Structure 1
Amino acid sequence: MTTAARPAPAGGPVVGLDLGGTKIAAALLGADGTVLARHSRPTPAREGAAAVLDALAAAAAAVDPGHSAAVLGIAAAGVIDPRTGMVTSATDSLRGWAGTPLGVGLANRTGYAVACDNDVRATAGPELAALHADGADHGSLIFAAIGTGVGGALAVDGRMLHGAAGIAGHLGHLPSPEAAGLTCTCGAPGHLEVIASGPGIAAHYARLTGTPVDRLETVAARAAQGDAHAVTAITTGAAAAGHVLGGLANALGPDRVVVGGGVPRVGALYEDALRDAFASELMPPLRGLVPRSPLLGHDAAVLGAAALTTTLPLHHPGALR
């Protein structure tokens, strides 16, 4: 397996943006995929969609002050429909974000042609490109991002799935037996996110002990000290994720399964429980398939965002004027 999958813009520089709930990251990529400039700034998450779009435009201007690029790709939080360029759904981590015309709104502010997608799908793009680089032109991929929430991306036979309204890949909202009776952030009962995310694991520890904890790292530290309830909370969340991913693997037949995000970084206790649960679900032809860590580090989202400009529809300035 190749150890890098840097998307090279076709024919000229490209701006890549990564929009999260707390930070905007921007990069200018040269025609060979080299990062020429970087910039980051806080996300004005509580100030409304117009303020977020303005901050995105300012970040693009900071990395490309001479406007050497003609296209921009953005990896954004929320449910993004890349065909319409709309944010079709979002949590309240970005106030008023649902219903935002992301593609055209950003194109009008910057003058670039804009491609946009969900941040997890964009981050998964280089993973799919790596399969292609290894000769799997029709490779299939499951990518899970387990952190504050549980997101994902699915690629089948070389093609990233977007689905109706851009909702494909939201793995956190698959049913999980371990989450039975618990209400998910989306309001429905029994979804994976409520037991397998960082806050979900911390909440499970609090249910077991009657003692609230501030974050996942606190639970991990207590598990390392032998706290049986902390071990249970972590391994339950990991096993829940592993069972769901194993079932998906049977349905999709992936060449690669990638698990990223902050939660897996708590260590071997989590990773071993997830892998054991995953393996327990697999049909015989898939035995030997093992979840892997992402190939790229902190640049993955902006690199994937830039690559969107070669695979997704472009939204041009002027449509909202």
Structure 2
Amino acid sequence: MTGLYAALDIGGTKIAAALADGDGTVLRRARVPTPRGGGTAVLDAAARLLDGFAAEDVAAIGVGAPGVVDPAGRVVSATDVLPGWAGTPVREALAERTGLPVAVVNDVRAMAYGEARAGAGAAFRRVLHVSVGTGVGGALTTAGELERGAHGTAGELAHLLVPERGPVPCGCGRRDHLEAVAAGPAIAATGDPAGAGGVLGRALAGLLAVLDPDAVVLGGGVAQIGAPFLDAVTAAFRAEALPPLRALPILPAALGTDAPLVGAALLAKRAVT
């Protein structure tokens, strides 16, 4: 086994690729805008990115893909954040294009696995991972392992109902969902990261009473805004949470926007070792 793994992070606006070693350390990066035209166009662009690593002895590919992904690596459900994506057989199609073993999970689960194994979640047993970017996503890990749930949606929070009405629709089309208020497009429309952070913090106060994890790790592109967003999330959560939960750690992702790439690479390694 070479110890080199390729990783893909497929998103609504860009496809990122990385070459990583067996510890998840990113050695090389590449990215392109996400093409329109459905799953075939997206996977063709992803495969071309991986061609840049062709000179390396890559053992396997890990993919973080938007939507609900079944154990066979097929997207069974997706919002319009990536039109024409639902039904795409990601693992099968990339394996045919590359001739390599392919592991596929939801993109936020890839981020969560990276943070649980090599980032901010590594010191905690049960963690809710929240990603805020073009959309809002969530995933749960326990002892460094992903929780899938009965239908592959464990930890998802984009569609939590909120009293506010978003300036742009959620990926599913509704405006009374958390994603419509707290995701990047909503913040761009209002210019109010603190307001969006407050909505997310209040939503977490209710959700964490149900899940009762050891910590929350907050990542994604919007989290890179820093204090105006993160401080608002934390303050709103502490003000609304049940007393036993108020001291629960809410941590920024240690791996930044590399988290899904690190997680995908580590999942690729796991698939072949």
TM class by smaller structure: 0.7 to 0.9
Q: For this pair of structures, how many residues does the alignment match?
A: 271
Q: Which runs of 5+ in 2 are unaligned?
A: none
Match of 1:25 in 2: 16
Shift of 1:296: 0.7
Give the partner amino acid of 1:256: A
Going from structure 1 to structure 2, the CA distance change for 1:110 and 1:234 (only over 3 Å counts) comes to closer
Give the partner amino acid of 1:100: T
The CA RMSD over aligned residues, in Å, is: 2.8
Show CA shifts across 1:204-237 (max 9, x none): x4xxxxxxxxxxxxx2xxxxxxxxxxxxx54432
Match of 1:319 in 2: none
Give the partner amino acid of 1:57: A
In structure 1, C-alpha distance between the alignment counterparts of 2:221 and 2:34, rounded to whole Å? 19
Going from structure 1 to structure 2, the CA distance change for 1:43 and 1:266 (only over 3 Å counts) comes to closer
Give the partner amino acid of 2:89: P
Q: Helix, strand or coil for the counterpart of 2:196?
A: helix
Match of 1:174 in 2: 160
Shift of 1:87: 0.8
Going from structure 1 to structure 2, the CA distance change for 1:281 and 1:191 (only over 3 Å counts) comes to same
In structure 1, C-alpha distance between the alignment counterparts of 2:255 and 2:8, rounded to whole Å? 16
In structure 2, C-alpha distance between the alignment counterparts of 1:40 and 1:265, rounded to whole Å? 18
Going from structure 1 to structure 2, the CA distance change for 1:28 and 1:267 (only over 3 Å counts) comes to closer
Q: Going by fraction, where is strand more abundant, 1 or 2? A: 2
In structure 2, C-alpha distance between the alignment counterparts of 1:141 and 1:248, rounded to whole Å? 13
Give the partner amino acid of 2:252: S
Give the partner amino acid of 2:53: V
Larger radius of gyration: 1
Q: Is the 8 A contact 1:39 1:63 kept in 2?
A: no
**Aligned equivalent of 1:309, options 248, 268, 273:** 268
Match of 1:13 in 2: 4
Match of 2:49 in 1: 59
In structure 2, C-alpha distance between the alignment counterparts of 1:64 and 1:53, rounded to whole Å? 16
**Aligned equivalent of 1:191, options 158, 174, 177:** 177
**Aligned equivalent of 2:83, options 83, 95, 101:** 95
In structure 1, C-alpha distance between the alignment counterparts of 2:136 and 2:16, rounded to whole Å? 21
Match of 2:66 in 1: 77
Q: Which runs of 5+ in 1 are unaligned?
A: 1-9, 206-218, 220-232, 315-321
Give the partner amino acid of 1:162: R
Q: Helix, strand or coil for the counterpart of 1:166?
A: coil
Shift of 1:34: 3.8
In structure 2, C-alpha distance between the alignment counterparts of 1:22 and 1:281, rounded to whole Å? 34
- What pairs up with 1:1-321 in 2 under 5 angstroms? 12-44=3-35, 46-66=36-56, 68-81=57-70, 83-129=71-117, 130=119, 133-134=122-123, 136=124, 139-156=125-142, 158-179=144-165, 184-188=170-174, 190-203=176-189, 205=190, 219=191, 233-311=192-270
Shift of 1:181: 11
Q: Helix, strand or coil for the counterpart of 2:254?
A: coil
Shift of 1:37: 3.2
Give the partner amino acid of 1:268: A
Shift of 1:104: 0.9
Shift of 1:310: 4.6
Q: Is the 8 A contact 2:217 2:252 kept in 1?
A: yes
In structure 2, C-alpha distance between the alignment counterparts of 1:169 and 1:111, rounded to whole Å? 33
Show CA shifts across 1:53-95 (max 9, x none): 22222222211335x22311011223222x1211112233433
TM-score in terms of structure 2 length: 0.86
Going from structure 1 to structure 2, the CA distance change for 1:256 and 1:23 (only over 3 Å counts) comes to same
TM-score in terms of structure 1 length: 0.74
Q: Helix, strand or coil for the counterpart of 1:245?
A: helix
